[in-house]
Amino acid sequence: MSHKLNITVMLGGPSAEREVSLRTGAAVAAALRSLGHTVHELDPQSPEWILPAKTDAVFLALHGTYGEDGTVQKQLDALGVPYTGCDAEASRIAFDKVLTKQSCLEACVPTAKFAVINAASAALPTGLQLPLVVKPARQGSSVGLQFVERAEEWVAAIAESLKFDTEVLVEEKIVGRETTVGILGGKVLPVVEVRPKAGTYDYANKYTAGATEYFCPADFDAATTKRIQEAALGAFKAIGGRDYSRVDVMVRADGSPVVLEVNTLPGMTETSLLPKAAAAAGMNYAELCQHMIDLALVRK
């Protein structure tokens, strides 16, 4: 499908992750233009946006609420225009960390023990072992993420996380190596290991150049690699994913994988993790963007 298309890249948007989305969108637009496509950039800051006439496909470069939670997907479905990535329902499930966990449990995909909290007065859940990770159910990119190492930190962590959502996911902190697995066209890409030079892979380490090291393909034996990839693909299928996603997986010392979450619209700057994984599989950045468009056009 190498003929020239009219592609609209949707970027920016109203979420807390607007800045990262603008970077993703600019990189995608440049790559698609380099392939000879006509590219429009559309920043949907209000719900009243208008799609440029004769748009063949929409490349979604939005992150966070609105772009990643199924809202924009519903609008595009109503317009009958093919768009990249997961459909509205899979996006809604994946964006809600609680629904994702429940989907993984039902599909027997390994995930950390958890509880759901919706009140600042809630007591420390009895069935969970410290340390705990606390995060808003519906926010992307480590927004509102808290760690509870000691019981006395519980109240403040819950209060902070509840600023971002009415529902908070509390899960046991998995100690191990942090990995992420790209899925493209229903196939798993090489595993990427994420190693922050200090602390955890939080918002600052994620978006500060040089703060984190990445290894791809990650240095696991073949059996462990296969287990990690199977867990990631299982989670992707459990939420009803299509085309592509990036699944974050912790790997315990014994090699057992534990799925953290599914990102249905992962970062797509040149240095983002999905492009890194695609590169390790022999696909350059522009080819990756084209492939994502091709997957969407199959639905036209």
Closest by CA to 224, choosing from 187, 183, 181, is 181
pTM beyond 0.95: no
Which CATH fold topology does 93-110+175-264 show? D-amino Acid Aminotransferase; Chain A, domain 1 (3.30.470)
Question: pLDDT tens-digit profile of 26-58?
Answer: 999 999 999 999 999 999 998 899 999 999 999
Give the torsion sign (CA, 194, 201, 186, 244).
negative
6-84+288-297: CATH topology: Rossmann fold (3.40.50)
Hey, which residues does 87 pair with through a beta bridge?
none
Give CA–CA dist 42/12, Å, rounded: 8
Residues classed as catalytic: 17, 141, 207, 246, 248, 261, 263, 267
Topology, domain 114-172: Dna Ligase; domain 1 (3.30.1490)
Alpha-carbon distance of 95 to 69, in angstroms, equals 5
Domain extent listing, the chain: 6-84+288-297, 93-110+175-264, 114-172
> Which of the 8 DSSP states describes residue 116?
E
Structure tokens at 267: 């970062």
3-state secondary structure 155-223: HHHHHHHHCCCCCEEEEECCCCEEEEEEEECCEECCCEEEEECCCCCCHHHHHCCCCEEEECCCCCCHH
Percent of the chain with pLDDT over 70: 94
Confidence of residue 200 (pLDDT cuts 50, 70, 90): low
Q: pLDDT per residue over 260-286, tens digit each?
A: 999 999 999 988 999 999 999 999 999
82-127 per-position pLDDT tens digit: 999 999 999 999 999 999 999 999 999 999 999 999 999 999 999 9
